[in-house]
Every structure is written in C-alpha cells, then in structure tokens.
Chain A
Amino acid sequence: MNYKIENIKKIIVTSPLKLDCGQIIKDFPIAYETYGELNEKKNNAILIFHALTGDQFVAGNNPITDKKGWWTTAVGPGKAIDTDKYFIICANVLGGCMGSFGPKDINKENDQPYGLKFPVITVKDMVRAQESILEHLKINKLLSVLGGSMGGMQVLQFCALYPDKTFSAIPIASTASHNAQQIALNELARQAIMSDPLWNKGNYYQDEKIPKNGLAVARMAAHITYMSDKGLQEKFGRKLQEKKDYEFTFNADFQIESYLRHQGKVFVERFDANSYLYISRAMDYFDLSKQFKNGLSEAFQNHNTKFLIISFSSDWLYPTKNSKDIVIALNASGANVAFAEIKTDKGHDSFLVEEPEFLKTIKGFLDSNFEIFKNEK
C-alpha cells in the first residue's frame, strides 16, 4: 500500500452522523468520482454503489492503482451505462480505504491510526454518509441507483431511506438479508486476516509490516465464491502451470492455484486488511427486514420507484432465491418491479465481466426509463 490518495475528490461531511452502533462521527471525508456531464435539468444522474472491495473509480483508469476502473465493462462512453449520456457518481464507502473515512485514518485524539478503534459500521451508515454527495452536487432526484453484491444492498437501503430521491433502482446479484452461508464465508475471510501475526490486533500501520498473507488468503477464498463450478472447470480444469507433470511439492502445480495466488497478491497491494474486516462485517449485519416492524415489504410501501432486480443463474454466493425474495417483498407492497435471471456460467462475478445479455438489459431499462423520467414534471 504505497499509493498516494491525496488529490482525489472528496467532501468533508460536517454534520454529525449517528451510526447504528451508537457512536457519532462528524467532519469525516467521503471520497467520490464522477463521469460524464450533469445536464441542466439535473435529471441524468446515476449513483453507483460499489461492492466489498470496490472503490469510487468505476470507469476509465483508476489513478491510484493505474489499472482499469472496476466496472469498465458496463460504464463508459457508448457503454451500457453511457457516460456520454448520463452523469455517473460513485463514492468510496464509509470504512473503505480509497479516501473515505476508514480504519487507516488518523484518530485526532491520539494521532494514531484508528485500527480497531474505528466504529463498527453498517450498510445503512454507508448509505447515509454517501447521501451527502447528492446534497453537495445539488441533485434532488437521481435517474437511478444501481450496484451489484454489497452495492445492491446499498441500493435497497437507499430506496428504503430515501424513497423520493431516485426514479429507478437496480439491485444486482444481491440480497435483502445476509444469510448463514454468506456470513460464514465472510467470517472465514476475517479469520484468515486476524490469524496473520502481522495483523497485530489491527495495529500494523506504523512500520508498514502489513498482514499480507492473511489478507491474500481471505481474497483467495472469496474469489472462489465469485465463480461457478462450471466456469472454473472451463477456464482452468486440471491444467498445469507452465509444466508438463506434477512437481510433487506444494508449489502451484495447477493453473487454478497460480491464478488464486496471483489474485491474492495483487489484492493486498490495493486493499487495507482492517477495511476488509469492517466492510464484510457491515454486510453480515445487513438485514433490511429488521429495520421494519412488518418485514421487508414495509420497506417499499408507497414507493413510486421502478425496480429492476437481476440475478445470475450460476451465482451460488447470492443465488436467484435471494433476488426472488426481494421481488416477492416488492410485489407484496405493490411496488413497480421487473425481474430477470440471466443465464450464465460466470457466477457471482457475472455483473463485472462482459456478459452481453445482462448489459443489454440494463441499457434498455436505463434508456427507456430516462425517456419517462425526463418528461416527468
């Protein structure tokens, strides 16, 4: 983590924010990026929420990592979410490590990085913190809010909190309530990080000895859950890594091993281990139905928002069942909802990779709703 995160866009949220855990934070930064131009009527704005390890750099080039933005398959000039037409906003979540207030920031009380002194945050806290960006950009109503995975949770939470602030919403490959398997997988990742001696109870910022190994293992485990059995088999099968036969060692004989090790290695260069703990915890605490006395459908009562729910047939991390539960709750509350399951072998990661049917559906939905929204009084 030798990257500089100065000179990126951020706002300082000065008004106090009471977190779900009870602590109050104020004067904290939320980093964000925008793409395209906001039109005069301010009706072409789309807010994208990123997933667990994403950041605000959705499209183009990420100036910090000098790699492509995380959603360039979908967002950019002429893409499904067209930056020639729409104004795209994405903020780094609270607890993140790309400029927003997170555990590696300095605690002014003792001039030390927060580490585990950072308050435990929730998806609701993240969404409330990001809402300040809309105020800052003076946007009253968005054309759409969308996001995949944890991004989809934020979409649902945003709609529940601010029903009048968006015309449409697209939660993708997501859930309204983290289930036991999803929590279990997050716990596995957290234990991998916390078992690394260099993690040192979250105090590792001073001498740059960061818990790389633990974080890499966490990433490797998570990465498996983002792909499908069939996808993995087709891509790697039993292929060996630049060798003709087994080595009879524990080096990476198989291509899949080498691939996962690489994924782990590049990940630790850009992500903070404590941020991983905090953000994954927020996902586990996410249960939208718990926020309402009469369950999930109450969250969307009297909403005019147009929802598009999307799931992927081979996604076993956030399976279609999770999306259907959202659809059922929306229908029970009389909300306006469209739903499609995209048939694909690419697993949970389908929304991040080139998946033409998915991208076409999103584009059609956004473009046709933009026509309706811009003619609204």
Chain B
Amino acid sequence: MKNEFKIIANLLPSQSRVLDVGCGDGSLIEALIKEKNIDARGIELEEDKVKECISKGLSVIEGDAETELSQFPNKAFDFVILSQTLQAFYQPENVLAQLLRIGGRVIISIPNFGYWQIRASLLIFGKMPITKSLPYTWYNTPNLHMCSIKDFYQFCEKKKIKIERVIGINGEKTSSIYRINLEMKNLLSEVGIFLIR
C-alpha cells in the first residue's frame, strides 16, 4: 500500500463507515475491510475500475462525484476520503461541501502546488511543472484547480471548516503541519493530508 494510504488508514478507527470517493481499483477499500474491519464503500467514474472493484466483492458504484454525492443522506458515513482529486473537479467548493455533508469527518489529500520542486520549475525554467505526483503536461492535465497546502489551509479557515489534523508527505517521510510551521511544510511537502469536519 502506498504511503499516503497507510497514513489515511491510520486515521480511521476500526468498524467505522467509510466512503472512498474516486476509489480507483479499490485497493484502499480492500485493505480497510481486511485489516481494520471497516465498512468501506466507494464511488468511481471509470467503468473498468468499477468492474474490477465489483469482481473483488467491493461495494463500489459507478458514478460522478461531481454530481452524484447528493444521493447520500446527511452524515451517511463516519469518514469520507478524497485522495488527490479535489483539483480535478469543475466545482471543488461544491464537492467539498457535499463531502462535509455526507461524512462526519473528511480526509482529503492534495498534491501540493507549493512544493519547492514545483516552485523551482516555474521560477527557473519558466515552464509548467511536471513531478511524480503531478505527471501531466499543461495541455492534457485533468487538474483544473491546483492549490498549495497553504491555500487549502487558509480556505478551510475562511470557510470555517474545522481542521483537526494536517500531515505532510515528502517521499517516505511524514510530518505534522500546524499553523506555526505552515510556511516551511508548504515548501517541503509533496502531498498534504487534511482531516477536517
């Protein structure tokens, strides 16, 4: 399991009800069910990945999170996970509002546009950055709304979304992020994981 998923799994208590939005091939859900006895479900846009999930016995529905989260009742899940896809929605703000509505807590990870390699790429080479977590070129990227850890942190504060924990990932290294070290971690983290409600 990739480092990010391990961190997310550690944030989840066993036997909780979890929805993984954009669950891909279902590897996180599968691990959560097997290892932590979590009631994990998923929603995924790509048909092939949905069929792969179903074949593994996972409860995954084919659908577009942008429009179809409204079908879930308020607080239907203890946790809702959104891994590195918020930036790909047309209306990330609306999607986030839905996530907070249907989940008691939301775990959201974002590829950090404030990461030093990204800043350097633009500053030194004057080109749109291409990194491990952002492998696309400007003309084929699905990422419409890139943001930095700092951007998202401030967004939560502005929207009065309660931030319970922030974890920065840099390769295999992880660290906690607070208001006090935000500037530094915003520079050094490739991915940020937010636990919010």
Contacts and interface: CB of A to CB of B under 8 A. Distances in A.
Nearest to A297: B73
Contacts of B71: 327-328, 331-332
Contacts of A365: 54-55, 57
B72 A331 contact: yes
A93 to B, nearest CB: 28
B76 A357 contact: no
Interface string B34-61: 0000000100000100110111111111
A338 B54 contact: yes
Interface in B102-157: none
Contacts of B73: 332, 334
Contact of A364 (B47, B56, B59, B63): B56
A180 to B, nearest CB: 24
Contacts of A355: none
Given A331-B76, A334-B73, A364 B62 contact: no
Contacts of A371: 57
A340 B49 CA distance: 10
Given A327-B71, A372-B57, 16 more contacts: A331-B61, A331-B71, A331-B72, A332-B72, A336-B41, A338-B61, A339-B61, A339-B63, A340-B54, A341-B62, A361-B51, A363-B55, A364-B51, A364-B56, A365-B55, A369-B57
B72 A338 contact: no
18 contacts: A327-B71, A331-B71, A334-B76, A336-B41, A336-B59, A337-B41, A338-B53, A338-B58, A339-B50, A339-B60, A340-B51, A340-B54, A342-B47, A360-B51, A361-B51, A364-B51, A365-B57, A372-B57
Nearest to A335: B59
B47 A341 contact: yes
Nearest to B48: A357
Contacts of B60: 338-339
Nearest to B72: A331
B54 A361 contact: yes
Contacts of B41: 336-337
The 7 residue pairs across chains A and B that have the minimum distance between CB atoms:
A364-B55, A368-B57, A339-B61, A328-B71, A338-B59, A338-B54, A340-B50
Contacts of B57: 364-365, 368-369, 371-372
Contacts of B55: 360-361, 363-365, 368
Contacts, number: 62
B73 to A, nearest CB: 6
Interface string A245-286: 000000000000000000000000000000000000000000
Contacts of B59: 306, 336-338
A357 B72 contact: no
Contacts of A338: 50, 53-54, 58-61
Contacts of A328: 71
B38 to A, nearest CB: 13
A343 interface: yes
A363 B57 CA distance: 10
A308 interface: yes
A327 B61 contact: yes
A306 B57 CA distance: 9
Contacts of B51: 340, 357, 360-361, 364
Nearest to A308: B54
A192 B56 CA distance: 46
A370 B50 CA distance: 20
Contacts of B58: 338
Contacts of A369: 57
Contacts of B56: 364, 368
Contacts of A306: 59
Interface in A292-341: 306, 308, 327-328, 331-332, 334, 336-341
Contacts of A339: 50, 60-63
Contacts of A342: 47
Most buried by A among B57, B60, B72: B57
Contacts of B47: 340-343
Most buried by B among A340, A363, A369: A340
Nearest to A325: B71
A360 B51 CA distance: 8
Contacts of A327: 61, 63, 71
B79 to A, nearest CB: 15
Nearest to A369: B57
B104 to A, nearest CB: 14
Nearest to B61: A339
B55 to A, nearest CB: 2
A324 to B, nearest CB: 8
A334 B39 CA distance: 11
Contacts of A364: 51, 54-57
A368 B73 CA distance: 28
B50 to A, nearest CB: 5
B119 to A, nearest CB: 42
Contacts of A332: 71-73
